[in-house]
Amino acid sequence: MSDLFATIERRSIWQDVANQIRKMIEAKGLEPGEKLPSERTMCQQFGISRISLREALRALEREGYIEVHAGRGAFVRSRAERELHMLETWVGGNGDNVSKVFELRMLFEPNLAALAAKMIDAEHLNKLRASVDELAANIDEPQRAIKADADFHRILGESTGNSLIDSLVHFVMTATGSERQITLATREGLKTALEGHTRILDCVEKGDEAGAAAAMKAHLEDAMDFASHK
């Protein structure tokens, strides 16, 4: 008889609180960008201690449901922000997945370059040129060059006017951060990146959509090949 029943797991108070807040967010009872009530108010409403509340908020922040700003409070994240957070956490915790992010980049960044060639305005074109100049000027300054490299791709994303594309580019730049530290840590790697960016810029300036896509594809292939030999 003693083996018939499993031990009942007692849930922690903070888990119940986190579940309530999570359900409110998912049911849109709390809207994206909305600030949660103060800790004091929530402790009174839930009838819990500040320790339990803070544990619940930490769990929700880890899951990407909220973003906590010191001195300002906790704010609800949108579903897109939550999914982006989950992807960043997934990649950050699994180094082997960097190659998968490169596969993702190969799927969308050539098309992104083509779209930029079609849609880019004068302001973003000037920013794109400036990022290439910044990369060229810092061939011997890896950290500055790496930032210029990331800026180039982000500007392409911004130039489309599509916030989802913009967010996706920011994600891949974050997700491949450690890999880019390797591929762009040498003068050879930076020169290869500069050549790729220059070709892409030339096509985007001309409005050559097919050329921009092909140049981006070649640029990513160069990066993947360089990384595989490190």
31-35 long-range CB contacts below 8 Å, 24 or more apart?
31/76, 32/76, 32/77, 32/78, 32/79, 32/81, 33/75, 33/76, 33/78, 34/75, 34/76, 35/72, 35/73, 35/74, 35/75, 35/76
> At which of 27, 60, 77 does a domain end?
77
* Judgement on whether residues 61 and 140 belong to the same structural domain of the protein: no
Identify the pLDDT of residue 34. Answer: 92
pTM for the complete prediction?
0.62
CATH of the domain at 70: 1.10.10.10
Identify the pLDDT of residue 36. Answer: 94
Closest by CA position to 202, among listed 191, 215, 190: 215
Q: Is residue 2 part of a domain?
A: no
In whole angstroms, give the CA distance from residue 174 to residue 107. Answer: 17
Q: Is residue 95 part of a domain?
A: yes
Identify the pLDDT of residue 8. Answer: 45
Domain that includes residue 69, residue range:
13-77
* Judgement on whether residues 65 and 107 belong to the same structural domain of the protein: no
Identify the pLDDT of residue 11. Answer: 65
* Judgement on whether residues 35 and 147 belong to the same structural domain of the protein: no
Q: Structurally, how many domains does the chain consist of?
A: 2
* Judgement on whether residues 70 and 108 belong to the same structural domain of the protein: no
Identify the pLDDT of residue 189. Answer: 82
* Judgement on whether residues 68 and 87 belong to the same structural domain of the protein: no
Identify the pLDDT of residue 180. Answer: 65
* Judgement on whether residues 203 and 149 belong to the same structural domain of the protein: yes
* Judgement on whether residues 57 and 101 belong to the same structural domain of the protein: no
Assign residue 6 a region (left: φ > 0; alpha: ψ between -120 and 50; beta: otherwise). Answer: beta
CATH of the domain at 121: 1.20.120.530
Identify the pLDDT of residue 70. Answer: 83
* Judgement on whether residues 104 and 35 belong to the same structural domain of the protein: no
> At which of 77, 103, 122 does a domain end?
77
* Judgement on whether residues 23 and 124 belong to the same structural domain of the protein: no
* Judgement on whether residues 107 and 206 belong to the same structural domain of the protein: yes
Q: Is residue 201 part of a domain?
A: yes
Q: Is residue 180 part of a domain?
A: yes
Q: Is residue 5 part of a domain?
A: no
* Judgement on whether residues 94 and 134 belong to the same structural domain of the protein: yes
Identify the pLDDT of residue 227. Answer: 62
Identify the pLDDT of residue 216. Answer: 97
> At which of 34, 52, 77 does a domain end?
77
**pLDDT per residue of the chain (230 residues) written in tens, 0 to 9:** 445 655 545 568 899 999 999 998 888 788 889 999 999 999 999 999 999 999 999 999 988 899 988 889 999 988 777 766 666 666 555 555 567 777 888 999 999 999 999 999 999 999 999 999 999 999 888 888 888 998 999 999 999 988 888 888 887 777 666 566 666 767 888 899 999 999 999 999 999 999 999 999 999 998 877 666 55
Identify the pLDDT of residue 79. Answer: 78
* Judgement on whether residues 118 and 186 belong to the same structural domain of the protein: yes
